[in-house]
Amino acid sequence: MNTTILEVGDVSKVFHVKRAGIVDDLVAVDGVSFSIEQGRCLAIVGESGSGKSTIARMVAGLEKPTTGTIVVGGKPRGQLPWPRADRRTFARQVQMVFQDPNSSLNPSQTIEDSLLEVLRFHHPERDGSWRQKRISELLEQVGLHERHRAVRPRRLSGGEKQRAAISRALAAEPQLLILDEAVSALDVSVQALVLNLLTELRSRLGLTYLFISHDLGVVRQVSDDAIVMRQGVVVERGATQAILDDPEHEYTRALQDAVPRPGWKPARRAL
């Protein structure tokens, strides 16, 4: 039973940027296609300007593709702005966890309230006791405690905030979870905990991830498949392990060579 959760077909995004009074076309994403099956994790790897986050934002419905199609769970996502009737469905299908939990959690809302908001919106038919039970379940899943219910984000550490952001995304029971550099801002010891959590959640709940990252080590840790992007174009794709063990494209090799590891020395390249 290989259900395709996400299908991105020949998607491009052109931004019109103004430079010195002249409007220029900036092609952020140039004809990218890929798909993710139920329960899999696909990583998009790239450096700044590669277009990886723009793809994530288009899949989530935060950005309008210039051309191409995005299909989630067999249902094409219409052109933005979505009709009112579809908005809730589309939003529930795909949830996103961002790099900086400070900007995705409301600072004046307790963790409980922030989860309640999502539960009320996406499960209006359920009653209060169901919601309370669900909150306990969500907190437990991401390793937070009951005492965190009444706490505001300010009182949480970076790792705890990111756990809260993950629990909020899971509250909608999305078909696809997008993680956009979701562990990049965390200290390495905390990052490891969240990476292990993401791996565990995926196998326990059968989640499907689109994982955006610049970090090859992190990508190797969490993803089954990967695509490597550079300047809006896919330069290499395949099973993560195969790509990292035996990169075919010179850019992938350069990325791999640049990662510090025991015995590594930085290499000076001519400009």
What are the residues binding another protein (CB under 8 A)?
47-48, 143, 157-160, 187-197, 199-200, 214-218, 220-221, 241, 244-245, 254-262, 264-271
Query: How near is the Cβ of 58 to another protein at its closest, in Å?
Result: 22
Query: How near is the Cβ of 158 to another protein at its closest, in Å?
Result: 7
Which CB, 30 or 215, lies closer to another protein? 215
Query: How near is the Cβ of 79 to another protein at its closest, in Å?
Result: 33
d(CA 113, CA 131): 11
Query: How near is the Cβ of 216 to another protein at its closest, in Å?
Result: 5
Which CB, 23 or 270, lies closer to another protein? 270
Query: How near is the Cβ of 264 to another protein at its closest, in Å?
Result: 5
Cβ contacts of residue 180 below 8 Å, gap of 6+? 53, 56, 96, 97, 98, 99, 212
Block residue for tokens 């039970």: 133
d(CA 41, CA 195): 13
DSSP calls for 87-123 = HHHHHHHEEEE-S-HHHHS-TTS-HHHHHHHHHHHH-
Query: How near is the Cβ of 196 to another protein at its closest, in Å?
Result: 4
Which CB, 27 or 195, lies closer to another protein? 195
Which CB, 150 or 259, lies closer to another protein? 259
Residue pair 45/234 in contact by the 8 Å Cβ criterion: no
Query: How near is the Cβ of 210 to another protein at its closest, in Å?
Result: 18
Beta sheet of 225-230, edge-to-edge order: 94-97, 176-180, 209-213, 41-45, 225-230, 233-239
Which CB, 12 or 54, lies closer to another protein? 54
Q: For strands 67-72 and 22-37, give the pairing.
A: unpaired
Q: How many residues does the chain have?
A: 271
Q: Kindly list the distances between the CA atom of residue 179 and the CA atoms of 35, 112, 167, in Å, as whole numbers in the listed order.
A: 16, 22, 13
Query: How near is the Cβ of 74 to another protein at its closest, in Å?
Result: 31
Which CB, 50 or 104, lies closer to another protein? 50
Which CB, 115 or 186, lies closer to another protein? 186
Which CB, 6 or 216, lies closer to another protein? 216
